[in-house]
Amino acid sequence: MRVPLSWLRDFVDVDLAPEALAERLTLLGMEVKGIERWGAAWRSVVVGELLTVERHPRADRLSLTTVTVGSGEPLHIVCGATNIAPGQRVPVALPGAILPGDRRIERTEKMGIASEGMLCSGDELELTTDADGILILPADTPLGADLSELYGDVVLDVDVKPNRGDALSLIGLAREVAAATGAPLRVPTVELAEVDPGVADRLRVVVEEPALCTRFVGRIVSGVTGGPSPDRVQMRLRAAGMRPVSNVVDATNYVMLETGKPTHAFDASAIHDATIVVRRARAGERLETLDHVVRELDAETLVIADPRGPLAIAGVMGGAASEVTDATTEVVIESAIFDPVSIRRTGQRYALRSEASQRFEKGQDVPTARIGADRVAGLVAAWAGGRVLRGRVDTDPVEPGPSRVAFRPARVDRLLGTSLSADEQALLLARVGIETEPAPAAAVIPVAAGDDPLAVSVDGGDARVALVPTWRRDIEIEADIIEEIARVRGYETVPARRPETQMPAYRPSPLAVRDAVREVLVGAGLVEVVTHALVAPASLDQLAWPDDGDLPSVEVRSGGPVVTVRNPLAAQHSVLRQHVVPSLLDVLATNERHGRSRVAIFEVGKGYAKDTDGPREWWRLAFVLGGAADPAAWSRVERPYDLDDAKAILELVAERLSLRAPSFVPDQRGAPFHPGRAAAVTATIGDTGGPAAPGFVTRPGAIAVVGHVAELHPDVLAAWDLRAVRVLAAEVAIVGLGGGTLAAPMARPLSRVPSVERDLAVVVREDVPAGVVASTASRAAGELLRDLRLFDVYRGAPLATDEKSLAIRLVLQAPDRTLTDDEVDAVVRSVTDGLSVDLGARLRT
Amino acid sequence: MDLETMTAQLERLRADALVAVEGAADAAALEQVHVSFLGRKGAITEILRGIAGLDAADRPRIGAVANDVRGAVEAAAVVRDEALRAAELESRLAAETVDVTTPGRRVARGSRHPIAETVAAIDEVFGRFGFVVHEGPEIEDDVTNFQMLNIPADHPARDLWATLYVDIDDHLLRTHTSPGQIRVMRETRPPIRALLPGRCFRYEAVDASHAFEFFQVEGLMVDEGTSLADLRGLLDEFAHALFGAARATRFRPGYYPFTEPSVAFDVECVVCDGGGCPACGRTGWMTILGAGMVHPVVLRYGGIDPERYQGFAFGMGVERIAMLRHGVHDLRLFMENDLRFLEQFR
Ligand SMILES: [Zn+2]
């Protein structure tokens, strides 16, 4: 709501500087978002008086004028307007002046005659809409005065919250100013000079939908002459952000801004049979609205109609056929109260949200239906001439009094943490027009309103009753009264305390696993990113990362029908993603464009799908590696990331979560993976603790990490237009990622007996995975095996071309004794036999 | 050979050996000297071969002389050996001099995203006051996101949350973390101190201070006597923890349908320290969160008796807090994931 201070002063004195007033209003809950100096765009525009006006010798349409601005020589100014005459006072832009839109006025020559400045129209000053004529100022305007001093204004931009429809008006805000400053409020009463015949003889109103139109007040002004409204009015409307239209329309807008009551003016001659019907539209009915769009109406739409058909969409927009024009001689003023929900829905259905409909949506102060009609009638008569016909049509002239809301002064203190007496509370409420009185013996306190209201009965001695004015429709329950007391007193007076109430029971953070995983990835050199959950539909198909499918569930299952946004902002953010890796590839591409070649990033993010019983969301860890694992430095050469780096990160994660070393099984599906460099990964819970999450089995040996790690197929890199030659990616589910805990690892006693190391060189066929050799050897080694590590791979002579030699180190140890050579030899034999039998391996000697 | 001759030979040998020891240039030369004088085939042994020709009475005497010579040469060799070792170490160390001004060998280290880091910072403060983390779904139902928060359908307050709807009946992308209040109240009993971080969505065009995806942290505290004064005290602690103990705060009325009274909480502008600048609209204040006493209707939807219990809730934009903490002026940077930006938060 834009509030010109000059207009506000009609209703309340304001002695404060604009900044100070803005702060007071803000602290009262009427937040001032901005302070605008209206007319601040005018520089060197002063009041002048026309001395002479003559025709330009070489151009019929131009006049030569001499103008005095009070001091100095008269100025010679060439002017194109025709509404000027000697003796008039007009705005003069002196050479060097600046007008709105940063228009600079200089000494010029027009058709061979010098012009020392410019006479301004209202439009050039953005004061009125008149672009043709020069703005003629009142004769008593002081000569030479700076126009910005005279007509400049300060406009406050007040953020009126949706519950305070009453403050979408100058009078409403004046009430707040009065409450904030203590200055008296002046609400003008309307006195009309009425003439016969009475409105009741000239207008019939039938409300067929009393639930949707609870009151309809009609008035008529006869004998009007269309034209512009007074300059001062146009200036106020503009300052308040509305476009001046005509005297009659401006009167309705002026009253809406002043009182918060939207009204509508009809050309009486367009109302057939002088009968207005408020009803639902009928199927098939159409109406051309003021914006000259023909709209199909439906039965949900409330219309103002005459016996022939709809004239206006009630509360939202008038119709073109009944619009007031310069030819209009008689005006019917509608000042009605409509159902807020009906207006809101209609506005949304037709995508028409007007200043009027926004006020109707928030509910209307019932008496303003009468006040608004009277005020508009008075202004129309004053600005457009004409006579106000006697009386009104009013479908519900009985106006409600204040509503009664009982409250407990002790509750006020309990909720606010203050200690205010009931009298202090009453004084504070009085500042916003809420009187109080003693409660009846059995007082009923409204605790909650709405569909399921709650009221409690208390002893009247513990309660007071607040008499809430009709315009404060937001105050319904005890808590509303409490807020009002706090607001008027100033939230700044609420004490600051540290809570002394009971502590809740301990509850572990559900973020433990997620945070542990993040810490590992950061430590491993990866940068955490946060990407959009909303992605382009095409990106879902661009990378066929495998869904969980038959994989064991350790988090919420992935995959399923895609969730689509019904009202997306843009196509590229219209569906919810199902995998995180594609988003990471986008980040990789973006950073490559910035000249980065090394990109190691991760995100712990969600995927989304819909099932028949509702939405499903799951958490995944995803990371992407591209470029150099070890960037070149003065002391070393560059080494690019490869699959082993990606696997090592998963091994670190498993270690941090106290899992057993992950196992990698070749995944040869091909795209989106490199067919020879992809693996399904699983890791199981170890014997000493690990993650736990509700709904998942987490005993030792249970699977706790499952997913895929791969070098991406070159086609994928091409699809993302990546420069990197190789990109590694992983996406895994981890128990507890979506909310879980980590058990503390249990320590094993250190063995006091020495361990024995034996190295074996095992020759196997090329297609036997090292992981299989390791697991076979582990099994065969038995319980004396402490550790088994692959430390070299050899290919070449004297091996056959389809053979490779894997160097394995066995670490053997008994818990209680030093192993004898015989025992060690037995284990080694068992391992070599096992490898030989199961894998056809032989020892290289 | 007689005693005198032999003694003289040994003494001459002592003199020669001491010169040779002293002259040994390195460990190998010294070893050579050692062997040639003291070895099994060395000079001393050679001389002592003539011992058989001596009188039996002279033999012990020449033996004593030989031992004395041997001992002297051994001692000299030890001293020389130590000197040579010291010199060798010194020259090796000298040869190993490096240019200490070259940069260190970097170990790659990643960084947490500033949004995650800010959530952790918020959690850290409220965690110390007993607040525990809860989480709710991002695809929320209309009832929990709006209606149970006292925002009925067709209520003008809905305009405060431009909503993205999804193709699941009565579901939407949560517009705030506030529906978590309902979930926490339904899952637990007072006393409640809960913190709800998470991703939110709005139908909002992107600019330097708006995004259609963003993060919030919601707080909820409910007990028998929890008051607005408790809220103010706690928010002061929070503001001081994140923005400095000297930073002034301001408590003023706000509006949310799910709180009554509602609060807007400001801190002294972190750019101008309250003097007034473009960043704070020349007011000297910056709003960092909204809050208020939980509306009785919301308590009831949460299954809590508003006559017995009362409490407060607050909600803040994580990006907003992160921008103020880290001096970031454009919210879009957080989701652009330019590594040049992110790596500043190591
Ligand atoms: Zn500032």
Q: What was the pLDDT predicted at A805?
A: 93
Query: Can you tell me which residue has the tokens 């604009």?
Result: A18
B306 interaction partners in chain A (CB closer than 8 Å): 447-448, 454
* CA distance, residue B336 to nearest chain A CA (Å): 8
Which helix (H) or strand (E) element contains residue A770? helix A770-781
Which of A98, A329, A339, A355 minimizes the C-alpha distance to A241?
A355
B233 interaction partners in chain A (CB closer than 8 Å): 495-499
For residue range B121-140, what is the model confidence (pLDDT) as tens digits?
999 999 999 999 999 999 99
Radius of gyration of chain A from Cα atoms? 41
Q: What was the pLDDT predicted at B295?
A: 98
Which percentage of chain B shows pLDDT scores above 70?
Answer: 100
A518 interaction partners in chain B (CB closer than 8 Å): 112, 116
Mean of pLDDT values over A645-674: 94
Mean of pLDDT values over A564-592: 96
Per the DSSP assignment, residues forming a β-bridge with B54 are none
Q: What was the pLDDT predicted at A338?
A: 97
Query: Can you tell me which residue has the tokens 């002004």?
Result: A221
Mean of pLDDT values over A211-231: 96
pLDDT at A660 over 80: yes
Other beta carbons within 10 angstroms of residue A576's beta carbon come to 26
Q: What was the pLDDT predicted at B241?
A: 96
How far, in Å, are A184, A560, A758, A833, A842 from residue A838 at the CA level?
A: 100, 40, 21, 8, 11
Which of B214, B109, B326, B336 minimizes the C-alpha distance to A519?
B109
pLDDT at B247 over 80: yes
**Hey, is the C-beta of A361 within 8 angstroms of any chain B C-beta?**
yes
What would the CATH number be for the domain defined by A756-843? 3.30.70.380
Q: Where are the domains of chain A?
A: 2-39+155-181, 43-151, 194-394, 403-493, 512-734, 756-843
For residue range A517-535, what is the model confidence (pLDDT) as tens digits?
999 999 999 999 999 999 9
For residue range A811-845, what is the model confidence (pLDDT) as tens digits?
999 888 899 999 999 999 999 999 999 999 998 87
Instruction: Tell me how far the alpha carbon of residue A519 is from its chain's centroid.
Output: 32
Q: What was the pLDDT predicted at B10?
A: 86
**Hey, is the C-beta of B335 within 8 angstroms of any chain A C-beta?**
yes
* CA distance, residue A538 to nearest chain B CA (Å): 18
Give the integer Cα–Cα distance in Å for A773 and A21: 81
For residue range A15-34, what is the model confidence (pLDDT) as tens digits?
999 999 999 999 999 999 99
Instruction: Tell me how far the alpha carbon of residue A134 is from its chain's centroid.
Output: 44
CB contact under 8 A, A610 and B293: no
pLDDT at A223 over 80: yes
Which residue in chain B is spatially nearest to A568 when comparing CA positions?
B164
**Hey, is the C-beta of B196 within 8 angstroms of any chain A C-beta?**
no
* CA distance, residue B253 to nearest chain A CA (Å): 4
How many contacts (CB atoms, under 8 Å) link A and B?
Answer: 285
Which of A123, A138, A356, A97 minimizes the C-alpha distance to A235?
A123
Give the integer Cα–Cα distance in Å for A664 and A651: 10
pLDDT at A633 over 80: no
> SS3 sequence, A804-824?
EEEEEEEEECCCCCCCCHHHH
Give the 3-state secondary structure percentages of chain A, helix then strand then coil, rounded to 5.
25, 35, 40
**Hey, is the C-beta of A474 within 8 angstroms of any chain B C-beta?**
no
**Cα separation of the two ends of chain A:** 91
Other beta carbons within 10 angstroms of residue B22's beta carbon come to 14
Q: How confident is the model at residue A744 (pLDDT cuts 50, 70, 90)?
A: confident
Which helix (H) or strand (E) element contains residue A705? strand A703-712
**Hey, is the C-beta of A593 within 8 angstroms of any chain B C-beta?**
no
The fold adopted by the segment(s) A43-151 is OB fold (Dihydrolipoamide Acetyltransferase, E2P) (2.40.50)
Give the integer Cα–Cα distance in Å for A461 and A409: 10
Q: What was the pLDDT predicted at B208?
A: 87
Tokens encoding B59: 């033999």
Per the DSSP assignment, residues forming a β-bridge with A731 are A622, A708
Radius of gyration of chain B from Cα atoms? 44
Give the integer Cα–Cα distance in Å for A784 and A758: 13
Mean of pLDDT values over A309-320: 96
Q: What was the pLDDT predicted at A42?
A: 79
Average pLDDT over chain A, rounded to whole? 93
Give the integer Cα–Cα distance in Å for A108 and A170: 44
| DSSP three-state, residue A470 | coil
Give the integer Cα–Cα distance in Å for A238 and A253: 11
Give the integer Cα–Cα distance in Å for A673 and A627: 18
Rounded to 5 degrees, φ, ψ at B173 are -85, 125
pLDDT at A39 over 80: no
pLDDT at A632 over 80: no
pLDDT at A631 over 80: no
Tokens encoding A209: 């939908």
CB contact under 8 A, A414 and B263: no
Mean of pLDDT values over A802-810: 93
Give the integer Cα–Cα distance in Å for A333 and A329: 13
pLDDT at A129 over 80: no
Overall CATH class of domain A194-394:
alpha beta
Whether the Cβ atoms of residue A744 and residue A806 lie closer than 8 Å to each other: no
Give the integer Cα–Cα distance in Å for B170 and B177: 18
For residue range B14-30, what is the model confidence (pLDDT) as tens digits?
898 899 899 988 888 99
pLDDT at A635 over 80: no
**For A776-788, b where at least 16 C-beta lie within 10 A, e where not — what string?**
bbeebbeebbbeb
Q: Could you check whether A2-39+155-181 and A403-493 share the same CATH topology?
A: yes
Which of A649, A724, A637, A716 minimizes the C-alpha distance to A683?
A649
The fold adopted by the segment(s) A403-493 is Phenylalanyl-tRNA Synthetase; Chain B, domain 1 (3.30.56)
For residue range B133-182, what is the model confidence (pLDDT) as tens digits?
999 999 999 999 999 999 998 888 888 889 999 999 999 999 999 999 99
pLDDT at A253 over 80: yes
> Among the CATH numbers 3.30.930.10, 1.20.910.10, 3.40.50.300, 1.10.10.10, which is that of A512-734?
3.30.930.10
Whether the Cβ atoms of residue A206 and residue A278 lie closer than 8 Å to each other: yes
Q: How confident is the model at residue B200 (pLDDT cuts 50, 70, 90)?
A: very high
Mean of pLDDT values over A495-515: 91
Which amino acid would we find at residue B275? Answer: G
What would the CATH number be for the domain defined by A2-39+155-181? 3.30.56.10
Q: What was the pLDDT predicted at A695?
A: 84
**Hey, is the C-beta of A453 within 8 angstroms of any chain B C-beta?**
no
Q: What is the pTM of this model?
A: 0.87
Lowest mean pLDDT among A98-107, A189-198, A432-441, A754-763: A98-107
Q: What was the pLDDT predicted at A743?
A: 86
Beta strands, E only, A439-552: 442-448, 454-459, 464-468, 527-528, 534-535
Q: How confident is the model at residue B259 (pLDDT cuts 50, 70, 90)?
A: very high
Of B212, B228, B234, nearest to A573 by CB-CB distance is B212
Q: Which of residues 291-310 of B touch A (CB under 8 A)?
A: 293, 295-297, 300, 306-307, 310
For residue range A703-741, what is the model confidence (pLDDT) as tens digits?
999 999 999 999 999 999 999 999 999 999 999 999 999
B204 interaction partners in chain A (CB closer than 8 Å): 569
Q: For the packed helices A478-489 and A409-416, what is the interaxial angle rounded to 10 degrees?
A: 60
Order of strands, sheet of A403-407, starting from the edge strand that comes earlier in the sequence? A403-407, A464-468, A435-438
Strands A302-306 and A309-313: antiparallel
CB contact under 8 A, B252 and A635: no
Strands A194-198 and A387-390: parallel
Which percentage of chain B shows pLDDT scores above 90?
Answer: 66
**Cα separation of the two ends of chain B:** 88
Q: What was the pLDDT predicted at A108?
A: 86
Mean of pLDDT values over A329-346: 96
Q: How confident is the model at residue B62 (pLDDT cuts 50, 70, 90)?
A: confident
Q: Which of residues 7-66 of A touch B (CB under 8 A)?
A: 22-23, 26-29, 31, 33-34
